[in-house]
């Protein structure tokens, strides 16, 4: 069991839903607050942004990733990855205000740091957990340092194979931190369904015993996220935006407000539908069974004293009489009284 703020991550707790605002605020504080408002209305548990400094994250002449260039084709000018990140960064002076705003509305504020300096800043800010993006799954010195803070760590595993994931987990645990959640993830925006690989959730559950497994996903739509809950994901993370048509690298693969609300509603319904796993008869079924199931009934008029044959008995609704499984015990019995066609058989009518 892991606590993130007031929320508990465990097999018996509701799925922890993180609405990933990321850089979809487009460098606009008012837009960032509107994203928080949308997250509140959708009913998520946490809203997450990204904390980075382009000067320490990327060289100035590095090109954009293919998906970034494709998704930002609406821009009128060509720009480097550095220029894009400079435009989309969340200034540090906004963090405190956004955290306070989110918490005032009942949300947990999270942000993904992209360097140790960013992580230190977030720790001082008082975040309830540290999210490790897929870009740092192999950054073992970084993982070892943040693990010592004993804050819950949410580890994304995009671009990582199982041996690398296990190495990251060992590094965090060796530092004395067992407050770890591992998220299955495919780093592709949007992720085609043939690359989602939902069965990897079961693999991580099996290989990383006693560690909650979740899902950070980037497909278009909500199907994969909802399916992950049925497979046992305890934390889910999904990008959202105010408008998919906004310029920016992540908007087109994000959910719009109504879709985010639908996602939360669907996840909660699936949680309820999962049940306990015990195969039992529900009270509501018992009443229906009386009408829908079948019993042994008299197939034709039978005089008192006649020995019953297979032709004298049929199987019909309702289900309030002798169960069909006792047919062989009925054959050969003698009618105590005159029996009429379609009359329910009962043990007191035969001998």
**Do residues 102 and 164 share a domain?**
yes
**Do residues 321 and 209 share a domain?**
no
Domain annotation covers residue 305: yes
Say which CATH number the domain at 311 has: 3.90.1210.10
CB 198 within 8 A of CB 227: yes
Last residue of a domain, one of 222, 251, 274: 274
**Do residues 234 and 217 share a domain?**
yes
Given this model, what pLDDT does residue 67 score? 61
**Do residues 52 and 184 share a domain?**
yes
* Token code pair at residue 109: 């504020």
How far lies 208's CA from each of 35, 165, 180, 198, in Å? Answer: 34, 9, 11, 16
Domain annotation covers residue 4: no
Given this model, what pLDDT does residue 277 score? 92
* Token code pair at residue 281: 């008869």
CB 183 within 8 A of CB 34: no
Given this model, what pLDDT does residue 80 score? 86
**Do residues 218 and 87 share a domain?**
yes
Domain annotation covers residue 1: no
Last residue of a domain, one of 249, 274, 299: 274
Structurally, the chain folds into a number of domains equal to 2
| C-alpha–C-alpha distance, residues 351 and 344, integer Å | 15
Say which CATH number the domain at 189 has: 3.20.20.70
**Do residues 28 and 142 share a domain?**
yes
Domain annotation covers residue 327: yes
| C-alpha–C-alpha distance, residues 197 and 204, integer Å | 12
**Do residues 92 and 204 share a domain?**
yes
Given this model, what pLDDT does residue 104 score? 98
Domain annotation covers residue 123: yes
Last residue of a domain, one of 274, 299, 334: 274
**Do residues 238 and 299 share a domain?**
no
Given this model, what pLDDT does residue 248 score? 86
**Do residues 81 and 158 share a domain?**
yes
Given this model, what pLDDT does residue 318 score? 97
Domain annotation covers residue 2: no
**Do residues 121 and 139 share a domain?**
yes
* Token code pair at residue 321: 């009489």
Domain annotation covers residue 253: yes
What residue numbers bound the domain in which 318 lies?
Answer: 283-349
**Do residues 270 and 312 share a domain?**
no
Domain annotation covers residue 206: yes
Q: Residue ranges of the chain with pLDDT lower than 70? A: 64-77
**Do residues 126 and 92 share a domain?**
yes
């Amino acid at each position: 069991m892991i606590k993130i703020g007031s929320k508990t991550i465990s097999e018996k707790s509701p799925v922890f839903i993180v609405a990933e605002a990321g850089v979809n605020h487009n460098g606009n504080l008012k837009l960032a607050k509107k994203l928080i408002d949308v997250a509140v209305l959708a009913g998520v548990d946490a809203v997450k942004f990204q904390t980075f400094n382009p000067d320490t994250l990327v060289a100035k002449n590095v090109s954009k990733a293919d998906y970034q260039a494709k998704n930002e084709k609406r821009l009128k000018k060509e720009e480097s990855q550095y220029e894009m990140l400079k435009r989309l960064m969340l200034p540090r002076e906004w963090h405190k205000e956004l955290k306070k705003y989110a918490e005032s509305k009942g949300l947990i504020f999270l942000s993904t740091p992209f360097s140790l300096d960013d992580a230190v800043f977030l720790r001082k800010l008082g975040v309830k957990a540290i999210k490790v993006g897929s870009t740092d799954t192999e950054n073992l010195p970084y993982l070892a340092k943040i693990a010592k803070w004993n804050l819950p760590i949410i580890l994304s595993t995009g671009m990582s194979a199982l041996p690398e994931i296990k190495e990251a987990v060992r590094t965090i645990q060796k530092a004395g931190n067992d407050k770890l959640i591992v998220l299955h993830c495919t780093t592709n925006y949007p992720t085609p369904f043939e690359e989602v690989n939902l069965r990897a959730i079961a693999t991580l559950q099996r290989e990383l015993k006693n560690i909650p497994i979740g899902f950070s996903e980037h497909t278009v739509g909500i199907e994969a996220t909802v399916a992950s809950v049925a497979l046992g994901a305890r934390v889910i993370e999904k990008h959202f935006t105010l408008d998919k048509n906004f310029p920016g690298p992540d908007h087109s693969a994000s959910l719009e407000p109504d879709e985010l609300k639908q996602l939360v509603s669907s996840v909660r319904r699936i949680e309820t539908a999962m049940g306990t796993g015990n195969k039992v008869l529900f009270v509501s079924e018992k009443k229906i069974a009386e009408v829908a199931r079948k019993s042994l009934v008299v197939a034709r008029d039978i005089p008192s004293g006649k020995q019953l044959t297979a032709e004298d008995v049929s199987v019909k609704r309702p289900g309030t009489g002798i169960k069909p499984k006792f047919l062989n015990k009925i054959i050969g019995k003698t009618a105590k009284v005159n029996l009429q066609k379609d009359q329910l058989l009962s043990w007191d009518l035969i001998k």
